[in-house]
Amino acid sequence: MERKIKSIILAAGKGTRMKSEKSKVLHTIFNKELLGYVLDAVNNTGMAQENIVIVGHQAEAVEEYVTKNYDNAKCRLQSPQLGTGHAAFQAYEDLKGFDGDVLILNGDIPLLTAESLKKFIEAHRKSDAALTVMSAIFDDPTNYGRIVRDEKGNLKAIVEEKDALDAQKKIKEINTGGYLLNWEKVSPSFLEMTSDNAQHEYYLTDIVKWTIKHGLKAQSYVLENNEESFGINSKKQLAQAAKVLKERVLDKLLAEGVTIVDPDTTYISPETEIEPDTIIYPCTYIEGKNKIGKNCKIGPFARIRGGVELGEFVKIGNFVEIKKSKIDAHTNVSHLSYIGDSSLGSNVNIGAGTITANYNHITKEKFQTVIDDGASTGSNSVIVAPAHIGENASIGAGSVISKDVESNALALTRAPLKIFKNWFEKLKK
């Protein structure tokens, strides 16, 4: 029977280099929080029973995000913030009596994958180690703690840059800040931590020293891809991580048969599924979680904002924005339109400049628009939700529709055309 796993995610820091009042872990890539990427990586291993998120700066906002989006996660407050060891210790009471392995990760590493975590866990269990440190190899390891091994390859120590000897500074294996520990064996280390250092803080690396000192097996596991250890500490690093995620996604989609005309100007979130033979044209931005069928055409200059499901042969054209909508097969939303909180049937044609007006700014409510199979809207139409446009109904160009339209009907709200002859001559006079 496999040992149980729980995680501690460190998410209490402000991240002063972000130059933002917002908690660092709530900054987003593809409209998804950094902390969400880490929690998803842990959950997608299929092994995590529970995640304990340590909050501090903007604690209420971080806790609201966690509780709203993750059923198997809870938060514990670190106040005051006295170092990484002190942060992890805030989960100590929750883990009392736990018979399993505890994974400790930073909440600002959005590039870490579930696949790498699975390998990390497997290596820890195969070696029967009490503690395994997640490490990585860098050609330039400056400013990182170095992994020092003994002659058998076991972990001997983690030496910080400021304390490293010249020979140790040449070591390229570094500590990423990720740990996996046999909780029953290693948890006593948290009760023996001291803050006897210049910063008067409790460091998580002390649990490594304690493990080795007590004759327990400690080892490090080297990540196959060192970019997965990349922590976000500035807006520049946020942009760099976004670029890495983008390239990963595009490479995967291209290999799966999706045509991406210009990868340099195309951005697609990791949570978007796209089936083969769909074409993504330049300057398209797709964020959030979406499902796009076969043989669709999207863009150029299109934006999909999440919660979107497209059937086969759907066309999303120039300067179109879609959010939280389901669009069935063979429907066209060709250009300059906004479709939000809507359900569109098959063979629907949305004319240029059509808007589904779904938001009441006074009550802050959003409403649903339903357009059935075969219906069409003329250019510059506005459909005020909630509204139901029936099968094969037509909306005349320039109309504002605020009521349901029955099937096979034509709806018009256009004012009568008036022509004033010789208008130009009158203006001259």
Could you list the active site residues?
A: 335
Identity of the residue numbered 374: G
**Is the omega angle on the peptide bond into residue 80 within 30 degrees of 0, that is, cis?**
yes
Determine the Cα–Cα distance for residues 370 and 326; give it in Å rounded to an integer.
Answer: 10
Determine the Cα–Cα distance for residues 292 and 263; give it in Å rounded to an integer.
Answer: 18
Identity of the residue numbered 133: V
Determine the Cα–Cα distance for residues 310 and 332; give it in Å rounded to an integer.
Answer: 11
Angle at 372 between CA 366 and CA 373, to 5 degrees: 145
Burial of 2 (0-12, 13-18, 19+ CB in 10 A): exposed
DSSP letters of 319-336? T-EEES-EE-TT-EEEES
- Closest to 306 (Cα-Cα) out of 292, 320, 323, 291: 323
Task: Tell me the sheet residues that pair with 6.
Answer: 50, 102
